[in-house]
Structure 1
Amino acid sequence: MKKNTRWSTWSLAAILTVSGISLAGGAQAASSVSYTASTGFSSTQGANNWYYQQKTGTTYTNLTYQSSSSRWDVSGTYPWVSSNAQHPGNSADSVRTWIAPSSGKITITGSVQKGSADGDGINASIIKDSSSLWTQTIRNTTEVQPSGVTNIPVQQGTQIHFVVNRVGSISFDHTLWNPTIAFTAGTYVPDDRSLSILDFGAVAGDNKPDDTAIAAAIQQAKTEGKDVYVPAGTFELSNILTVNGVTLKGENKEQSILTSTNPERGSIDLTGASPAIRNLSHVYSSLGERDGKNEKNSISVKNATNFVVDQIHVQKASTAGIYVTDSIGGTITNNTVQDTQADGIHMTGDSSDITVQNNVVKQVGDDTIAVVSYGKSAKSDGDKGQTNNIRILNNDVGYDSKARGISVVGGRDVLIEGNHIQLTQMAGIYIATETGENNEYNTQAVDSITINNNTVDRTAQDTGRGHADLLVYAGNTPIDNVTFNNNTSTNAGKFGTGVWGSGQVGTITYNHMTIINPGSDPYKFDNGRIIWDGVVKRENK
């Protein structure tokens, strides 16, 4: 729940001196740093990472310092906070807040004690952001030690609130509480919802396989319902890594790196319910032969539901970069895929309901983004339904890739919108059915494809293949209901757009197309019923 909290603007970036250690812009020391409430008490909000507040409902607001009483309160009344004590008010709780200067772990010590045996007691709580770590009702002057507050993971900016509120009356609710927070910095601690692979034996940069440690972390995370965290550093994989129903996440895709050292078995496989991989790089140290084996992909999504591939840098793969088969519901977003020997992003096997958005795909050995529906053949895994309900949105692809830009080769209900495609050897956008160069496979039919507001520049550069920038090609099975709206073709190798092939083609519709500087002709239509801005340019015979 969002809290309306007002902090001093300089506090987290301030230079702090705590227990004799100078911390500029956040704790960097590996050793523990102690923050004691009374020692760090100040007339300035945020000094030594401490704040003095009141809480009403879920809203925290700052108190005002009173120099006459050396405490923080509301116009000289309740609630108040002093160097080592707190007192609630009738309508607001008393809160002392500490903010973490960086990622790490904390352990909290310091007893809570009522200042008087009179009254009906107080409720004392320790809250991390909006989650309760500990709470207890205290009715006498016996010291109480909070429990369950050791080795708590925090991020930069995590708020730890020490809260005192009334039970009934606020009479005699003066509460002695002088907590100490022992803070140990460490970027390996992401949050309290994750397990770090370091805690299972992974070691960054030691040139030794980390498969066993990462697999153990995944297994434990699935048991506990948590994520698996890959900290900054380079970790090695010597075999396929399976991510089954959990989230594998890094610090970011520049710093958290998984390197596969086995070019034959290096795929990271996502399977099960809601698997995810985020914020890291996957790199192959070497490549093998391109032979279509999925063990050589960078990321393989197999038999998964509601999967996520986000903020991943795929660098090199003998086969595909991100490969999806037999999976329903998922997103492939904000990734960079480069230097694969096959497709950059490939979806097949009756997969459905997938969004591919805001990715960069460059210098791949085949299509940058492909939707494929195979029929039964030696090259496929048997008869399956059409890959369907795919959204390919706002991607930036090409950059000297070896085949097509965005392709649908068998499939239905596909939206291709807002993409920028440049510098491909073959068509920028390719809608087709095929049998393969040596008739080794048969793709399924194509139906209901919409192509809107894409920019295609300098594609189909291998003029010997005769591709159009925007090409519809009918090979073995029918194509129907393909609509192009508001697309721009610039500097085509030969044709701006075209429809041909010996197979059956139904209606192909073009609206508001812009074709600039084609290498040969703006369009070439040899097949199908072609409608151009409402005018029938070609009828099937």
Structure 2
Amino acid sequence: MTPPPAGPRLLRRSLSASLSLALAAAGTAAAVVLAGAPPAQAAAVTAPSPVGISGRGATVPFKEQEAEYAATNGSLIGPDRLYGSLPSEASGRQAVTLDSVGEYVEFTLTAPANAMTFRYSLPDNAAGTGRDASLDLRVNGSSLKSVPVTSKYGWYYGGYPFNNNPGDTDPHHFYDETRTMFGSTLAAGTKIRLQVTSTAASPSFTIDLADFEQVGAPVGKPSGALDVVSDFGADPTGAADSTAKIQAAVDAGRGQGKEVYIPQGTFKVQDHIVVDKVTLRGAGPWYSVLTGRHPTDRSKAVGVYGKYSAQGGSSNVTLKDFAIIGDIRERVDNDQVNAIGGAMSNSVVDNVWMQHTKCGAWMDGPMDDFTIRNSRILDQTADGVNFHYGVTNSTVTNTFVRNTGDDGLAMWAENVPNVKNKFTFNTVILPILANNIVTYGGKDITISDNVMSDTVSNGGGLHIANRYPGVNSGQGTAVSGTHTAARNTLIRTGNNDFNWRFGVGAIWFSGLNEPINGATINITDSEILDSSYAAIHLIEGASNGLHFDNIKIDGAGTYALQIQAPGTASFNKVVATHIAQSNPIHNCVGSGFQITQGTGNSGWYANPPACTGVWPAPVWTNGGVPGGGGGPTDPTDPTDPPDPTDPPEETGNLAQGRPVTETGHADVYGAGNAVDGNADSYWESRNNAFPQSVTVDLGAAKSVGRLVLKLPPAAAWATRTQTIGVTGSTDNSAYNSLKAPAGYTFNPSSGNTATVTLTGTPVRYLRLTFTANTGWPAGQLSELEAYTS
């Protein structure tokens, strides 16, 4: 978080319907290797993607592809999570470096697109001011355009609040993003290549990922609206300063009760546009762009602000359909150079793109009923959003946040209570410092249906705490009431704190200012996947009233629970697997931490717990599959003898809700229907195109002894025989036969079900290949159920 003035550094749905270890984007990604293009020099480690998780996180307009799964003749870097390394800040902790003329990364469109955003890194220059270069964008082998790239918005050094001196220690914040339109809509299957044509301006180019989307046409001027160009003379070319003219339009809009329209163009704005009781609307965030910074007073820059509460605050403001792309290259906490700020009650920010500012939105209350929705916040030097003192009944929802310099989404009840605020259905990725989502104090807070991934340093995925100035019960600002954190997915969250050294948990609690007492904190129906250190962590002071219910922990670099402070917590249906340490709990406070166990728990409890003076090095599992051992025994190794610390044998359908890929499908009958637990929905392959296959990722190597295959039970599905072969793999590369192709009859009189008996060979990837069907010229399957016996 970034308090102005200078402040401290801050460090829908059911669980079964959400991702366990899904490769939503990388599902298609799993090896986009093109004919005639050499593969990556090293195979990328499969890592769950935070984008596209069913029912959780932001609904985004793009299809994401990771560079490490694309066709390339560059060099794979990573995986690595250690602070200060280039792959540690990459999505999935892997990327591809291009360092010679002719090297490239080539993606294949999985849906029509007319635009792309790609995330990249260039080396800093010797002065710390950054370097400018370009990459050749090629379509199906032909050059389309040169796309500028730069390192001037990255590369910070030293300790908080950081500097741009390459001679200092601890370089970080390496990546940036740029966007470009193709000029036309390109069809699915089109090959999009980013290629190096010169290394004169930059010795290397690291590509992390690309987001492809179909951008709609510009939104026209609403009837009766005031136009900042035709009515007030603002310059859409960006040559002249338009600050005063846009401000005049906004003031007139308020006075006349009219909307104010920003047409297509790039507008230079060198100070705040102050809004109150007005709608400011653009042609769309790809078309209407506010940008700029004062040429001499660097504390002034583009931003749309409400009046501060001392001035009475603003109200009834709508900001919609435009972008604020700034020019902030350093972190100075006193400077009000945020995209959106001030106080705005009864107001909405909708479909606004915020990039290269200090914070996306730093909101200083008191203020009430403020919403940010359907927006993108990228490449900030500090927080993505911060609700700072006295913000009530306010929400951030359906918003995509990536590469913030501090907390992704934060609430900080400094001196004045924050009450009944919500962060819901957001995707928050790669905060370079501090937490993905946090509330410092506050009453009756909701943090639900979000996806958090890839914390880099000094923070966790989800943090609830009495920390930082002004958070205390004496002022009514401490954690109080009921805090609800429900249906969240956390992937590769938590990380090494370069002060503490023992790591920060994926979900962590702190009573630094005073103990958390009298509040009810419910953590429910959530997944904590591949945590970099502990999954759940208590430190500083005490944290009471914690309740964990229906929690899946799959992979933790150190412990399931890391207890460094007293407290009370109840655990019900908390299941942990793939914990790196043989003893899953670290607790040196003894009975000071009281555990109440309900039913359905496994894999996380030990008595006595571990209490050592040496913190173990983390073991990262990349998707719940141990990559370097999981303690003295490996629960996925069938030759490993039983051990009391091994998790219990899994029961139930191993395939339900798991990531699934296919060779193709007809109409709306995608492969996800075959693992959704609903026998009335089904997958159907393309007609007359045998062989066709469905592949399910079980998340880890598992001994599958029996498959139950189903078609819809309705009598309308006449009896048919399908020829199906079963193969399996541990790495999604080499597949071995588990059952030779054979005919399986599906008869509605007996439930349209067929059973396949297997030998129990451990596999992670389970593939069914269909080569014939007597009832329809395609493969058909409503449910693939996999059982250990």
TM-score by length of 2: 0.41
Alignment of 1:94-105 (within 5 A): none
- Structure 2: how far apart are the matches of 1:212 and 1:422? 41
- Kindly tell me: are residues 346 and 494 of structure 1, through their superposed partners in 2, closer, same or farther at Cα, counting changes over 3 Å? same
CA distance in 1, matches of 2:253, 2:539: 52
Residue 444 of structure 1 aligns with which residue?
A: 477
Distance 2:555 2:534 in 1: 9
Cα 1:372–1:490 shift into 2, 3 Å: same
User: How many Å apart are 1:249 and its aligned residue?
Assistant: 0.8
Shift of 1:222: 1.0
CA deviations on 1:212-263 (whole Å, 9 max, x unpaired) are: 2111111111121111100111001111110111011101011100002234
Residue in 2 aligned with 1:210? 242
- List runs of 5+ in structure 1 lacking aligned partners: 1-185, 376-383
Partner of residue 594, structure 2: 539
Measure, in 2, the Cα distance between the counterparts of 1:205 and 1:414.
44
Q: Aligned-pair distance for 1:477? A: 2.6
Partner residue in 2 for 1:467: 504
Structure 2 vs 1, CA of residues 188 and 468 (structure 1 numbering), >3 Å: closer, same or farther? Answer: closer
Are 1:530 and 2:569 matched, yes or no? yes
Q: 1:518 aligns with which of 556, 561, 573?
A: 556
Task: Show the counterpart of 1:274.
Answer: 316
Task: Using the TM superposition, give the Cα deviation of residue 443 of structure 1 relative to its aligned residue in structure 2, in angstroms.
Answer: 9.9
The match for 1:300 is: 341
- Aligned-partner Cα distance in 1 for 2:219–2:232: 12
Match in the other structure for 2:332:
290
Q: Distance in 1 between matches of 2:245 and 2:478?
A: 45
- How far is the alpha carbon of 1:307 from its aligned partner? 0.9
8 A contact 2:495–2:505 mirrored in 1: no
Whole-angstrom CA distance in 2 between matches of 1:370 and 1:310:
19
Match of 2:357 in 1: 317
| Structure 1 segment 17-166 matched on structure 2, within 5 A | none
User: Does the CA-based 8 Å contact 2:508-2:538 persist in structure 1?
Assistant: yes
Partner-residue secondary structure (3-state), 1:388: coil
Greater gyration radius = 1
Kindly provide the CA deviation profile for residues 293-330 of structure 1, in whole angstroms up to 9, marking residues without a partner as x.
3x21110041x221111101101113454434321012
Q: 1:187, 1:468 → 2: CA distance?
A: 44
Query: How far off is 1:428 after superposition?
Result: 0.1
Structure with higher strand content: 1
Counterpart contact for 1:281–1:314, Cα < 8 Å: yes
CA contact under 8 A between 2:494 and 2:507: conserved in structure 1? no
Matches within 5 A, 1:353-432: 353-375=393-415, 384=416, 386-425=417-456, 426-432=459-465
TM-superposed deviation, 1:403 = 1.6
Deviation at 1:502, TM superposition (A): 1.8
Check 1:473–1:187 CA distance in 2 against 1; reply closer, same or farther (3 A cut): closer
SS in 1 for 2:245: helix
C-alpha displacement at 1:350, in angstroms? Answer: 0.8
Structure 2 letter corresponding to 1:350: G
| CA–CA separation in structure 1 for the residues paired with 2:464 and 2:221 | 44
Residue by residue over 1:188-207, the C-alpha shift from the partner in whole angstroms, topping out at 9 and shown as x without a partner, is 96122311101101121141
Q: TM-score, normalised by structure 1?
A: 0.59
- Per-residue CA deviations over 1:463-510 (Å, capped at 9, x if unaligned) read 63521100011111342311100111111111111223124x321110
| 1:264 is the counterpart of 2:299 | yes
* 8 Å CA contact retained: 2:279, 2:318: yes
RMSD value, Cα: 2.6
Structure 2 partner of 1:105: none
What is the count of residue pairs matched by the alignment? Answer: 340
**Helix, strand or coil at the partner of 2:407:** coil
How far apart are the structure 2 equivalents of 1:322 and 1:389? 18
Q: How far, CA to CA, are the matches of 2:219 and 2:529 in structure 1?
A: 48
- Determine if contact 1:391/1:416 at 8 Å carries over to the other structure: yes
> What SS does structure 2 have at the residue aligned with 1:340?
coil
- Shift of the 455–292 alpha-carbon distance from structure 1 to 2, 3 Å rule, reads farther
Question: Matched residues, percent identical?
Answer: 22
Tell me: CA distance 1:191–1:319, structure 2 relative to 1, closer, same or farther (3 Å): closer
Q: Which amino acid aligns with 1:493?
A: S
Hey, what's the Cα distance between the residues in 1 that align with 2:393 and 2:530? 34
1:424-463 Cα deviation digits (max 9, x unpaired): 1220000011246xx9xx9931022110010000111326
Do the aligned residues in 2 keep the contact of 1:366 with 1:402 (CA within 8 Å)?
yes
What residue identity is the alignment partner of 2:544? G
Query: What code does the residue aligned with 1:495 have?
Result: A
Q: Quote how far apart the aligned CAs of 1:289 are.
A: 3.6
In structure 2, relative to structure 1, the CA distance for the partners of 1:259 and 1:410 (3 Å cut) is same
Higher RCO (CA < 8 A, seq sep 6+): 2
CA distance in 2, matches of 1:508, 1:249: 43
Q: SS at 1:214's partner residue?
A: helix
CA–CA distance in structure 2, aligned partners of residues 395 and 206 of structure 1: 32
Task: Give yes or no for contact 1:416–1:451 (8 Å, CA) kept in 2.
Answer: yes
Out of 490, 512, 522, the residue aligned to residue 456 of structure 1 is: 490
1:79 alignment counterpart: none
Per-residue deviation, residues 317-350 of structure 1 (Å, max 9, x unmatched): 1345443432101211011111111110100221
Q: Identify unmatched segments of 5+ residues in structure 2.
A: 1-216, 308-313, 575-590, 596-789
Cα offsets for 1:131-170 (capped at 9, x unmatched): xxxxxxxxxxxxxxxxxxxxxxxxxxxxxxxxxxxxxxxx
**Residue in 1 that maps onto 2:544:** 506
Q: Distance in 1 between matches of 2:446 and 2:219?
A: 40
Distance 2:461 2:476 in 1: 20
- Equivalence for 1:197: 228
